[in-house]
Each structure stands twice: as C-alpha cells, then as structure tokens.
Structure 1
C-alpha cells in the first residue's frame, strides 16, 4: 500500500548510498520518503550544526543512539540529550539553558510534553518553536500505532515549529490539508533493495514448522517476525525447540506462554539459532548477524498477525544492517510466509480516503448537532455516542464540540488499505515490488495433519505416566541402558512435562485436567513461589522499618530485587503492603531537589526468615 504525491521530487541513489548523498543537511518543511531502513537520516541531523529535537516512536531507538560508538570506540553522539525514564522536567530546563553551540534532544512522543513544559517554565517556548529543527522520524508510526494518543499529539505539535521535517522509510501520505505546504522528496535506488520470496502456503503452521525443523534449507540464524505470542509458543512446542529467543512485550500473559525463552531486547552476539519477534520489535533496532535468514509471517485468519506490508512488513525485514564490501552482512534470504483470501477485488487507498473522510465528517457534524440538542434540552450527552465520534475526532475541552482529526482518520484508512493487500497473492507481491523489492513466489502445500497426529499420539497423562515408569526410583526389571536412553529421549522431547513431573504433586497435576496451558501456569506459579523466598531474603537489605521512601525509589528497588530473584512480576510501590510483606502508611518524602514526593513509611515487617544454623 504505497501512494505517491504528484509534486514529489525523485532522487536516485546507489543502494549502498546514505542520505547525505542526497542532502548535505535535511531540508526545512519537507517530507522525505527515504526509500530504505538504515539510510542515516537521524545520523545526518545529529551531525548538523543546529538545534534539533528528534521524535522517535520507541525507546529502543533512543537507547541505540545514545550507545552508538564510532570506529574508535568513542560515543558517536556525546552531546545527545536523551529524554527517557528518570529524566525530570527540571533536568530539561537545565539542559535548555546550557551554553553549548548546538543542542540535540531525542524523545518519544510519550515524553514530548516534558520539553514543552520545560520551555514554558523558563519562558523560552517561542524560541523553542523558532530555533529548534523538529524531526518526526519513522512518521508512519502516527497511523500504525493507533492505540497511542501521544503519536497524534506529536503530529499536531509539529506545526508549531517554524522548521520541521517528516521522514520515514515506509511513509504514509497524510490527509491533513496542512501537509500541502510541505516539499516532498522520494529516494529511489538503482537496483532492488533486496529479493523477497513470498511463500503462498496452505498451512501457516506447517510452513513455519518446516523452517524450524530444517526441512526448508537455510543458512545462518533464523529471525522470524510473527505478531502472535500464542502462535510462537505453539510453533516452539511443535518443533520441539530446546533453545531460542522470543522478543515480545514484557506482559504477564506473554510470559505465561514463553517465559523460559523471553528476552527483553535483541543484543548483538546473543542471537540463537531461532529468534522470534512480535511487533514491539519490528522496528527501531539494528540486526547485525552473519548472513541471517529473515522471515515475516502473516495469516489472514489471525488479524493481529496481518501487518501492513508497506510499513510494518518492510520495517521488519529491513532490520539487518548491510555494509558495503562486507558480504557477510547481507541476509542469506528473506521470506514472507503468508496465505490470502483468493479474492480478486481491490479497493485503492484513495477510495478508502474518500470513504472514511466522508463518514468522519458526517459523524462529526451529526454529533455536534446532537450536542446542541442536548444543551437545549439540558441533557448529558450519551457516553456511547461520544466514544463513537472520538474514533475520528478530538473534542473541545471547554464546549465539547467534535473537530475532525485527520490523523485518527488516517489510521482507519491505512489499516483498511493494508488489509486489502491480503485479498490475493498477486496484491501481496505487488505491495513488495512497490516497496522496492524483487519478488519470487513459491507454493507450499504441506499440512500439519500427519505431524500433529504423530506428535499427539500420546496424551499428556500417558507421557507423565511414562516419566513415572522410567524414573530410576520406580524401575523394576527394565534393562538399565534401555531405560536410561528412553528417559533421556523423553526428557529431550517433552521438557515442559518433565519439569511438571519433577516439580508438581499428583494432586496439582490432576487439578489441571492434564491441559498443557494449565500445567504451564502452575509451573510459573511454582517458580514464582521459589523466587519469592529469594525476594524475602533481599527485602530487609533494602528497606528498613521506620524509614520513609518515595514511591519511585520503592518501585525501582523492588524491580531490581525481582530481577535478581527471578521473580516474574512488574513492580509497584504498593506491593510492599499488598503482598503482606510490610505494614506501611502513605507519607511525603523530600527528593534530592527538596521537593515533596508521595511515598510510604514502613511501620513493621510481616515476615520472618528462618536462618540456618547448620555448619558444613
């Protein structure tokens, strides 16, 4: 789904060129389709002699930039001020008042308000808008991250700045009329970005399994972009993987499914043979592996996996950083495993724009008439009607009237247009070619029926019974060598059930009705109980009865303790009391700046640790 502006200026580069071949400095009030990921747009601005604010969609981009080093091992951007966790508005005020030649700030949309508040507090807001060059990087996120109001706020704030730019390798051409004032540039290359093989499959699971089990011959590590933790967990179990990385959002429901494989961030040098990523890791980081095999997986029957090819899809397969004259940095192969609706009908992006903008304007006007009627009749507006119109609009904070929000409307337009690509394999192929890729299409007709029948021939109950029979403590007349070999094989093929056999009682296993998901949940609870004992040993080393601590301090220290103990939980300050560890009462605590902060005073400890007196 790629549209094109009629007034767009094309620029052709070599595939290995960076953006500084096209621009010595990034232009003002412009929109740049940079053509491919990793072309050096933010790098160019961070090296340009002017004040800049870079808005990036995710924190990992900030981490990547502040940790970047040059060929001498020195920080690439030593003066870059990163606004992330722990940075206060007073810190930003101090930075803005520093006597340095060119200030460089990087921030996510969620923390952008801090810069504005800081500038207002020290009365330089007009200077900020006139003197700072604002970059909205990875601008497609405004319409793909539809659950983040801050993305819309960042786009709106863009127009307050005198000098600004929108840049993305996978852009969307926004409907907002103010965008007509921008100059448009599109970077193209003298050859395809890469080749992608589209695998049209009857069974997504069977095709993924073929890669995981080696049936599909590949080289290098596998990097699989698949936006479903449930499907990833099932793929791991079906392929009987013993070790892999799963990079997904750090949520409890995700950890329940893949806790033993979870990794918060991809790290160079720590890749496994198989690495999975959900959309939280489709962009904003650099993959630096040796000739990796990169795979995107989409399934029309599972909507959350069906990411837009021209934005999230291109971002995902573009993670590998390729260096000129270094063939080992090129992917061995790129695949897109998918199915389609087999429907030869296609509605264009422009058709969706006309449709949604018409509906949005109609709903807005109808709601405002309804609001007038409510005021006339002294009635409160119906909450359902208000929530409905907010899909496309913003509401005036004082009088409540709805105003069309083009960015929210564009989110619906983009989602529908991307979804249309999956009507037929031909449209999927066209979407990749429009994004600059050479394509090939393969058919994969294998199903999982026989494989699943073979793997599920024995029930969970039968497998647990086998563990009991083969347990050395329960053996009777079996040949020892044969029994050991059989047990080793069973442990290797059923590691989760072996762990259950070792850790859970028969009563606990019976309570699960022999359902794998329930058994996994019990194992996590058991792990957490063991970890909680470690937590209890660490708590008194950090928190003392009679002392007062800010909530921020408690939360940070608790999370550190949880991490050390392997306790799978996100910390909050309230857990000191809610977990029955301590009795506390709310209080005020002065921070380092002498300001009063909300906190807790610890009144008493509610647990006792049994100290061993045994001497070894």
Structure 2
C-alpha cells in the first residue's frame, strides 16, 4: 500500500478490491494521530499483538475504561497516538478527549475500517452506526474496505467524498471448488473426513451447526472453535476448545480443524505456518444467517489468510422459497412503508386529543418501518442499505444459476459441482421449538419413511448417515417408531409422556412374550414347585437378567405365567410362599 500511497486522504471512500494490502498498517505508520474504527474486537487484539507494525496501537473495547484512554492520550512517550476502537466504545475516546481538552475532530484522522459493516450489521447491531454523526464532524476522515459499498447517507455527497479504487494490475482470481447440494450437513462432514490430513479452516456461522458436526464425527479433541466471548465460556463448560481471538504470532496454536463464526469473516489477520484448506459453508435450512455472500463475505474470508491458502471450497444448499425482492421491488416496498409511516406520523402530529396521540405513538412504535427511522425522526439510511443488501443476498441463494453467477467474479475462478442425496437438509431439518410434539413426530415419521425409498434417482445414498442423525437428535421418537410402528406412534404422540408410556408397555409386552424366557421359566418352575416368596422372585429375576429383559420380578408377573395357590405357609413357623399348579403357556413334555 505504501508503494502507491504515502498516506490516506480525507473525505475519501477507498475500495481496496483485495483484502490484506496493509491499508490499516499505512495509517498506523503515518505520522499523525489516528482513530481507527473496527467492527469487532478480535481485529483490535490482533493488531495490538502484531510484531510487524512499527508502532503499537491502543485498543479501546469492553473492559477498557475512560481512565485508561486518558492515560494513553496524555502520554508524552507516544508522539503519534494510534487508537483502535469498536463503535460501542467510541464514547470513551470522546469523553477522554473532552476531559483532556483535546480537539478530537481536528487533531485526529478518523478511518472507518471495513466500513461495509455499518450497512451489513446494523439490522442486528444497532450501535454500530453510533459514531457516524461524529464521523462527519472530523476534518480528516475516510471509509475503507475491500468490499466497500457506497452508502446512501447524503452526507457523503454533501461533504464531497471521492471514491478511490485500489485495484491490482495482476490476475488475482483464486480457484474455488463450489459444491451445490441438497444436504450441506452430510457433505461438509464428508469433506472434513476427506481432508483430515490437512489443516482445515471452516467458516460456518452457527454454533449449533458447528457442534453438531463435531459430535457426529467425534472430533472434539481435534477442533478449535473461534467465536464470541459469550459463546466461548458456554462451550468451554462442556469440553470444547474455544477462543474469542485468533493467535497472532504463535502460528502453531491452531488445531488441525478450526471452526470460525462470522465475527472472524473480515479484518482479522490469520497467520498460519501452513496454507490451510478453507471451507465456507451455508446451510439455509439450518439457519438463514449462515449465508456467505460470494461477492463480499467469501472475498473477506479468503483474505484473512495473510500467507495464502491451499484450497478453497464453498458448500451451499438452495432455497427456492426465500421470496427475495428484486432491487426495484425492494425500493418500492421501502417507499410504500415510508409513505404509510409518514401518514400515521402526520395524523399523530395533527391530533388534538391526548388519547389519539398516545394511540398513534404506539402505532408508530409497532410498525416495522420504525426500525428504519432514527431516534430524532430522520431516515436511517444504513437500515435502508441493509434491507437492499439482504434482499440481494437472498436472491443469490434462490437458484443454482444465481449462486453460480455470483461466484463468477474477478475474485474467484470457480468450478461447479452439484451433489444430491436421498435425504436433504430440508427433509430432516425439524424445528425444536414452537412446534407440537405431534407435528414433530409426524415430520420425523415422514423422513424415516423416505429412507426406504429407491435411491437410484440420487447421486449419493446417505440414508444410513441420516438415520444415525435422527437417532442422535430425537432418540425417543426414533425408538418409538421402531418399537410401536408408524400408526401406533402417531396415535400416542399427543405428549412425550404418552409416547414414552406406550413404548414402555410395548417393550414389556414384547419381553413378556420372549419364547426363550418362557421356556426357561417353565424349566425352573415345574408343576408342584413350592417355595418362599423371596426365593421365587430371586430365581425369576435371575432368568429375566439372563435374557436382558426390561422386566422386574413380582408375584403379579409370576402369576401371568403360572397358576398358583393363594399365598400360603410353606414352612413353619411363618414362611409364606406359593405352590405352582401348572403353567399357563404350553410346557415341554419334560417340564411338567
């Protein structure tokens, strides 16, 4: 970067095109005070530990307080201050500057790194745009990203921002193996097993999906999971190797198999002593938020690996029911929402009655469009941009052709393969919450029935794998299906207790009718047999245990097999027991 730019200019949106060209490094090493906004903490921690930087950076995020910032900003030993801060902690820098009477907006250069996060994350992370009003107050400032998107915020035009594209003069496209499948869960596990001798870095934005893969393959010891601090602590308590930051200098600290959630998709430097195989997985039927956009997220992921990669694999399924809107439809939808919201707002402002005003205030707050409005009533342009972007991503995953087209860009040289299995993600992806036990049972029964269908129409027969996953995920329903059968299970599926009781009764009935068990009982208790109660029960339990039956010896059970006397005195003075008159099931001739 320093070869083409001596420093970053002001009021500029930089399109880096390629990640990892050291634009942030250039700003850190420029002789001026810098405030660098980073969307995620791991980026800041990585830069703090980086040994290749000529200057040390000061990180401001959760756990760092205003006093810490004051001490750094007032330090005479640091000539040019380099502060990296998250959007949520930006207020600490402002407070420190006010206390120290530093003219922050004049003295510091503000670089918003990976600036497209403002638009991509704002729907679930409202505070990411908190610094934007202050951003425009800085005399010197810039937006930068390898996958930057021009914001619709009119202040960029008002302040005459220019756009600079930093595009390489060489062919930078990387080969990628793109696999479109109807079963991401199975194909991902196959790819892990195929490449188990290589270092793997798997990007999958679902902790539940990650742990499911690990448990299915029984590879907990061989894996690291890189995720948020909150998830990290939860997973550590159940034995997973989890981290909220990637190693910066100790390159051997990675596991053979490494899983990453989306917080590591961009900006983080991943330094490894080997070139890994990178797998990017999207499973729409497991969670929509696992989508990896080939135009941006995939580019950023590959760019994390500063020493290069061995191979890139992208795995996805397709959902034709995403109901995505075209760009024109999205614009029309938002305009309609805005018009309706404005109508309600006008009614509210013209209302004279307090009750009417309160009612209309409630209506304004409940309308979904309220998410697209700032607290001061102005349009939230970043939410608008987010909606348009999200709909464009959904369009990609609506069809195989759209997905293939998205990978045909300057960043990638794709090869495509479609792989279909007998059972798809959609077939056995069953909601665990918000569904009745009866509906859940019916869904699983339908899936199991499909396992008996002719697999000839599919490329891969994955029925055994799916059956094992069903058994692991829904053991009680799986057992009930095989014990009770389809019709009996459905009859007894109104509650878990009803289903369990039915299974228990059926197993007891099956055990009671065990031919070998009955044969051994008849041999042990011949006609005329006489013994104390505890002796009878002891011998009967021994026979039950021998056959591994789910029964418990009792006189009531004993009398299901034999006609006996009433409880009587077997031995004086007071030993009570029973006399066997005859067997209720046919005896062999030698046991009468």
Secondary structure of 2:180 counterpart = strand
1:122 is aligned to 100
Structure 1 position 34, deviation (Å): 0.5
**2:14–2:144 CA contact under 8 A, matched in 1:** yes
Contact 2:278 2:302 in 1 (8 A): yes
- Tell me, yes or no, if the aligned pair for 1:225 and 1:276 is still in contact at 8 Å: yes
- How far apart are 1:47 and its partner, in Å? 0.6
Q: Is 1:410 equivalent to 2:398 in the alignment?
A: no
* Contact kept? 1:344, 1:424, Cα under 8 Å: no
Cα deviation code 1:523-576 (max 9, x no counterpart): xxxxxxxxxxxxxxxxxxxxxxxxxxxxxxxxxxxxxxxxxxxxxxxxxxxxxx
Structure 1 distance, partners of 2:349, 2:288, is 39
Instruction: Identify which of 26, 38, 42 aligns with 2:8.
Output: 26
Equivalent-residue separation in structure 1 for 2:277 and 2:175 (angstroms): 12
2:183 is aligned with 1:203: yes
- Does residue 309 of the first structure (1) align with residue 294 of the second (2)? yes
> Structure 1's 40 and 373: CA in aligned 2 closer, same or farther, altered over 3 A?
same
Matched, 1:293 2:307: no
> Matches of 2:388 and 2:140 in 1, distance apart?
28
Distance 1:456 1:220, change over 3 A: same
The partner residue of 1:135 within 101, 111, 134 is 111
Aligned to 2:38: 56
Matches within 5 A, 1:9-48: 19-48=1-30
Partner of 2:563: none
- Pair 1:254–1:312, CA change in 2 (3 A): farther
Q: Distance in 2 between matches of 1:249 and 1:160?
A: 32
2:560 match: none
CA offset at residue 31 of structure 1? 0.4
Report whether the alignment pairs 1:173 with 2:150: yes
Please state how far the C-alpha of 1:230 moved relative to its aligned partner. Answer: 1.6
Asked whether the equivalents of residues 137 and 166 of structure 1 are also in contact (C-alpha less than 8 Å), the reply is yes
Q: Distance in 2 between matches of 1:69 and 1:37?
A: 19
Q: Secondary structure at the match of 2:280?
A: strand
Change in Cα spacing, 1:455 to 1:362, as seen in structure 2 (3 Å) is closer
Structure 1 gap segments, 5+ residues each: 1-18, 323-329, 397-401, 462-509, 515-616
CA distance in 1, matches of 2:155, 2:17: 23
- Listed as ranges, the matches of 1:534-549 within 5 Å are none
Instruction: Give the 3-state SS of the residue equivalent to 1:185 in structure 2.
Output: strand
Residues 387 and 347 of structure 1, relative CA distance in 2, 3 Å threshold: closer
Q: Find the aligned partners of 1:252 and 1:34 in 2 and give their Cα distance.
A: 32
Contact 1:314–1:435, Cα closer than 8 Å, also in 2: no
Q: Is the 8 A contact 1:364 1:404 kept in 2?
A: no
The alignment covers a number of residue pairs equal to 427
Cα gap change, 1:87 to 1:226, in 2 (>3 Å): closer
Encode CA deviations 1:76-107: one digit per residue, 9 max, x unaligned.
323x2222344332343344344454222111
Give me the whole-angstrom Cα distance separating, in 1, the residues matched to 2:326 and 2:475: 50
The CA distance in 2 between the partners of 1:257 and 1:62, in whole Å, is 23
Q: Distance in 2 between matches of 1:22 and 1:375?
A: 63
Deviations 1:136-156 (Å, cap 9, x if unpaired)?
A: 001111112222222111223
Q: Kindly tell me: are residues 342 and 404 of structure 1, through their superposed partners in 2, closer, same or farther at Cα, counting changes over 3 Å?
A: closer
Instruction: For 1:184 and 1:206, locate their aligned partners in 2 and report how far apart those are by CA, in whole Å.
Output: 44
SS at 2:43's partner residue?
A: helix
Q: Could you list the per-position Cα deviations for residues 178-218 of structure 1 after superposition, in whole angstroms to 9, with x for gaps in the alignment? A: 2222111122232134121110112111211211222xx57
Q: What's the TM-score, normalizing by structure 2?
A: 0.66
Equivalent of 2:372 in 392, 399, 403: 392
Q: Distance in 2 between matches of 1:134 and 1:207?
A: 44
Q: Show CA shifts across 1:42-66 (max 9, x none).
A: 1000111112110011111111111
> Aligned pair 1:453/2:448, yes or no?
no
Counterpart in the other structure of 1:275: 258
Contact 1:31–1:185, Cα closer than 8 Å, also in 2: yes
Let me know the Cα RMSD of the aligned residues.
Answer: 3.3
* Paired residues of 2:113 and 2:143 also in contact (CA < 8 A): yes
Query: Residues 375 and 393 from structure 1, CA distance in 2 versus in 1: closer, same or farther, beyond 3 angstroms?
Result: farther
User: Contact conserved, 1:352 with 1:413, CA < 8 A, in 2?
Assistant: no
Q: Which runs of structure 2 are paired with 1:353-392 in the superposition (5 Å)?
A: 354-355=331-332, 357-359=334-336, 361-374=338-351, 376-377=353-354, 379-381=357-359, 382-383=361-362, 385-388=364-367, 389-392=369-372
